[in-house]
Amino acid sequence: MSSPRSAGEIARILRETKGKASLPVHADRQAWARLARQHIASEVIAKAEAVRTKAIPPLPLTLFLDYHRTGRREGYEAPMDARRDRLTWMALAEGLEGQGRFLDPIHDMLDAILTEPTWVVPAHGGEFTDGLPLPELQVIDLWSAMACLLVAEVDHMLGDSLHPAPRARLRRAVEARGVAPLLARDDMFWMGAREMGRSSPNWAPVCAGLTAAAAIYLEADCDRLAAVLAKALRELEHYLASFPPDGGCAEGVGYWEKGVFAYACFADLIAARTEGRIDPLLAPHMRQVARFPARIQLGPQRYPLFSDNVSNRIVQTALLRHLGTRLELPELHALDPCTDAERTHTLRYPAEQIRDFLWWEEADTTCQPAPRDWLPDTQIFVARLHPGKSGALALAAKGGTNGEPHNHNDVGSFVISLGTQTPVAEIGAGLYSRQAFDPALRYEMPNYGSHGHSVPEVNGHRQAFGHAFAARDVTCEGDRLLMDIAATYPRQAGVKRLIRRLVLDRPAGAVHLRDQAEFVATGELTSVLITQATIEDLGPGHLALGPLLVSFDPALGVEIEALPPITTRDGRTERFQRICLSPSGPTGSTEINVTFLPRYQGDTQ
């Protein structure tokens, strides 16, 4: 059913219904006892016990200023996130136990969060004067919306177990930092339809959806709550409309999860409150959007690192089970076949941690992926040699443009996977900083520039940034992807056509790459492979990248370059190398062919 858009109609539905959230209140010991039977309950209680008597992570003013001064984000965000994690663990543990032993540290942590001058992180404080928040500034970012929902859900969970003073304070804080800005403004950059210049689609469901979700818990006035819900529903409709017909997310699976989780979280709460009369999860396009991670999987919970993804990113199992059940998509259940006893508590943000309990369910996880998937609008192609078999060969490649959200200059990039290894790899996102989002600096970093992707260099030129720098004449037929990527290079590169062809050869159990360049005059083409694997020289025209054999014309020149160490978004240091294959000397046209074959017969099974 479609969501009502009129605040008046929503207010009428609110008055006619008396639904309640699935998150139990402290006094409902039977409901908490059911949640306590989940395997992760003991893990959460152990986390809460570990932090119960520890000092609250400080957030001094100078730490907030650190981003303004240096561009580093983690100095402020790490302790800020730690505060919210601790409050989440202790509130859940108190609900699961019901003994009152976590209430005092919960009050202290809640007080510390309510005392913070803003819930907006420094990196999102573009409207702050000299890098500091103004008390009267009405702005919502991802973190402030998540904080609104967190304190609202802690209030709901613990209820009268909390002292009335912080309960009153948190209501004022959610009003000032969430509800009032949402109602007052229509000009925050994440608001409005795509045609109005939305720059980061995942923001709309988080900022509008989670702020409105908090209001569902806290706002008693039906007319005012209806106004908030109408505003949020409008933004969620814009968010859903930002997805192309194929449902693909050019931001990558991590940002797909962030936006879709917030959308589903809000949808769950508004559907419960209105007894199912308003349910955004039933929007027609949502089912196609929800299928995205299943369609781009290399294997269970393994995805190509296109856009700002990270190598160990998995989609929250409880979200997959929730969407799979609600939308009748068994392929989502199969993305993570773990049982309750095998799973661990999610490392995501507070709302996700809470829904790890609420949305988890056992499910049939035997659904197998298709041999291939092609998303024609997003231009992502995945071919799996033996779907569902561990260790099997898989190929993923992308076309698209160099002006996508969380963009990398990576048109034509591809990965080759063998089970848990990805010998031809993507680097993924680096550690976020101010510099990483400055276009003048971003594409000098190998994470984001084309020199850190398995795409060609043309006459020494890399791909350029912008929507105009896009793949042309993209076709996918069976296991073959073909595209002209000449337009992704600046005019100075002097290339008229650059046809990249990628094929999964099922009879041979191999992947074939062919790059064909035609120059304006003469030129040089270099085909580049990115790898983390150990590189072995097996003689002219042959290399091994760990478990993958690479064969090419022995006349090609081979250069191996070490990229600078990469600090990932989760703080790890990773090292990658570039393998550069090129003919000798400039020509009017040239062709490079490369074949990739699993080194061991068992890798093709």
In the Cβ-directed half-sphere of 94, how many Cα atoms lie within 13 Å? 26
Written in H, E and C, the secondary structure of 529-570 is: EEECCCEEECCCCEEEECCEEEEECCCCEEEEEECCCEEECC
Tell me, what's the pLDDT at 51? 97
Q: Looking at residues 210-223, what average pLDDT do you find? A: 98
Kindly state whether residues 182 and 310 are assigned to the same domain.
Answer: yes
Q: Which amino acid, 264?
A: A
Tell me, what's the pLDDT at 1? 43
Is the pLDDT at 199 greater than 70? The verdict is no
Is the pLDDT at 128 greater than 80? The verdict is no
Q: How confident is the model at residue 196 (pLDDT cuts 50, 70, 90)?
A: low
Is the pLDDT at 197 greater than 80? The verdict is no
Q: What is the distance between the alpha carbons of residues 65 and 81, in angstroms, rounded to a whole number?
A: 17
> How many helices, marked H, and strands, marked E, lie in the chain?
19, 21
Strand partners, 424: 416
Q: How confident is the model at residue 430 (pLDDT cuts 50, 70, 90)?
A: confident
Kindly state whether residues 496 and 575 are assigned to the same domain.
Answer: yes
Strand partners, 129: 132
Is the pLDDT at 225 greater than 90? The verdict is yes
- C-alpha closest to that of 352 among 308, 322, 329: 322
Domain membership of residue 414 (yes or no) is: yes
DSSP per-residue string spanning 579-596: EEEE-SS-EEEEEEEEEE
pTM summary value: 0.95
Return the minimum-mean-pLDDT range out of 79-88, 372-381, 581-590, 595-604: 595-604
Q: What is the dihedral of CA 399, 404, 410, 413, to 10 degrees?
A: -40
Tokens of 588: 């009017």
Strand partners, 4: none
Q: Looking at residues 315-341, what average pLDDT do you find? A: 95
Q: How confident is the model at residue 306 (pLDDT cuts 50, 70, 90)?
A: very high
Q: How confident is the model at residue 508 (pLDDT cuts 50, 70, 90)?
A: very high
Q: How confident is the model at residue 557 (pLDDT cuts 50, 70, 90)?
A: very high
Tell me, what's the pLDDT at 476? 98
Q: Which residues contact 149 (CB under 8 A, 6 or more apart)?
A: 210, 211, 213, 214, 265, 350, 351
| Final residue belonging to a domain, choices 313, 328, 358 | 358
Domain membership of residue 233 (yes or no) is: yes
pLDDT in tens, 435-476: 888 889 999 999 999 999 999 999 999 999 999 999 999 999
Domain membership of residue 33 (yes or no) is: yes
Average pLDDT, the chain: 93
In the Cβ-directed half-sphere of 553, how many Cα atoms lie within 13 Å? 15
Domain membership of residue 434 (yes or no) is: yes
Tell me, what's the pLDDT at 174? 97
Kindly state whether residues 377 and 421 are assigned to the same domain.
Answer: yes
| Final residue belonging to a domain, choices 358, 388, 423 | 358
- C-alpha closest to that of 498 among 399, 595, 377: 399
We report the CATH number of the domain holding residue 380 as 2.70.98.70
Kindly state whether residues 312 and 421 are assigned to the same domain.
Answer: no
Kindly state whether residues 334 and 441 are assigned to the same domain.
Answer: no
Q: What is the distance between the alpha carbons of residues 107 and 85, in angstroms, rounded to a whole number?
A: 14
Written in H, E and C, the secondary structure of 378-416 is: CCEEEEECCCCCCCCEEEEEECCEECCCCCCCCCCCEEE
Kindly state whether residues 394 and 326 are assigned to the same domain.
Answer: no
We report the CATH number of the domain holding residue 187 as 1.50.10.100
Tell me, what's the pLDDT at 402? 96
Full domain range(s) for residue 148: 7-358
| Final residue belonging to a domain, choices 301, 329, 358 | 358
Through-space distance between the first and last CA atoms of the chain, rounded to whole angstroms? 45
Domain membership of residue 532 (yes or no) is: yes
Q: Looking at residues 237-241, what average pLDDT do you find? A: 93
Domain membership of residue 558 (yes or no) is: yes
- Stated as kind and residue range, the H or E segment containing 45 is helix 40-51
In order of 51, 84, 106, 405, 526, the CA distances from 48 in angstroms are 5, 12, 10, 37, 54
Kindly state whether residues 346 and 396 are assigned to the same domain.
Answer: no
Q: How confident is the model at residue 194 (pLDDT cuts 50, 70, 90)?
A: low
Tell me, what's the pLDDT at 490? 97
Kindly state whether residues 261 and 386 are assigned to the same domain.
Answer: no
Kindly state whether residues 352 and 378 are assigned to the same domain.
Answer: no
Kindly state whether residues 350 and 384 are assigned to the same domain.
Answer: no
Kindly state whether residues 462 and 505 are assigned to the same domain.
Answer: yes
pLDDT in tens, 358-390: 999 999 999 999 999 999 999 999 999 999 888
Domain membership of residue 364 (yes or no) is: no
Kindly state whether residues 350 and 429 are assigned to the same domain.
Answer: no
Domain membership of residue 363 (yes or no) is: no
Question: What's the domain count of the chain?
Answer: 2
Task: List phi, psi (to 5°) of 455.
Answer: -135, 160
Tell me, what's the pLDDT at 2? 53
Is the pLDDT at 133 greater than 90? The verdict is no
pLDDT in tens, 89-124: 999 999 999 999 999 999 999 999 999 999 999 988
Tokens of 88: 């989440």
Q: Looking at residues 187-215, what average pLDDT do you find? A: 84
